[in-house]
Structures are given as structure tokens and as C-alpha cells.
Copies of this chain bind each other. A is one copy, B any other.
Amino acid sequence: MSKVNLTQKLASFDAYWTPKIVASYNCNDIMVVKVKGEFNWHSHAETDDLFLVLKGTIDIHMRDQIVTLSEGELYVIPAGIEHRPVAKQEAHLLLIEPANTPNTGDQATAAKKEMI
């Protein structure tokens, strides 16, 4: 593989809430995503969900708490925990999920993940 420059990858697309695969690690997708606004409530029964903020700030709403993450902060949402990411302003994230995990928790409504 070639090295991956996260800033360059993020500069190559505009759409929000459409994770782009930039590398693979042991059958996990390493992804970058731009977010702004409110995502849907969802959970992933089979997998934890790792968020690392590369730029900006996001609030991860869970049913019992809200975790606010700024640049250089990470959080792992345990499998099965309902969550809803919210970004008041545009934010850039690194995500890790097993390959083929639907970003909405549901294959029918999931964004198609492409490699960039």
C-alpha cells in the first residue's frame, strides 16, 4: 500500500456522512468522514465503533450521556450501544469498523463505502 495522508484524503470529497475507506487493517475498514448536522440513532450489535476527531468537535449522544470530542480525542462506543453523532459545525473524523459494517446500523439505509 501507499501511505495515507488524512488531510489530502479529506480534501478529495465534500459529502457529509459518507465514510471513505483509506486503508484496511485485519479486515477492518479505516475510514475518514466529514460530518455536519445530526445523524440517526443507531447501534451495531456485533462491533465496537471507534471515533477519532481529526478536526472540529462532535457530540456523541447516547441514551444516558453525551460525550463531546474535540481534535485529538477518541472514543469507542461499545457494541450494542445506541448512539447518534451530532456536529454543530463541520468536523472530520477517523473511523474504524469491521469491513461491511453499515454506518447506519442497517444495510438497507447505509451509505455505500468506497475506497479513495
> Are A3 and B96 touching (Cβ within 8 A)?
no
Q: Are A74 and B26 in contact (CB under 8 A)?
A: no
Complex interface: chain B residues within 8 A of A69 (CB): 3
Q: Mark A5-29, 1 if CB is under 8 A from B, else 0.
A: 1110000000000000011111010
Max chain B CB contacts within 10 Å: which of A5, A7, A28, A74?
A74
> Which B residues are in CB contact (< 8 Å) with A5?
72-73
Q: Are A23 and B74 in contact (CB under 8 A)?
A: yes
On whether the beta carbons of B25 and A67 are closer than 8 Å, the reply is: no
Q: Does A33 lie at the interface of the complex (its beta carbon under 8 Å from any beta carbon of B)?
A: no
Q: Which of A47, A68, A75, A79 has the most CB of B within 10 A?
A: A75
Judge whether B73 and A6 touch: CB under 8 Å.
Answer: yes
CA distance A48 to B3 in the complex (A): 14
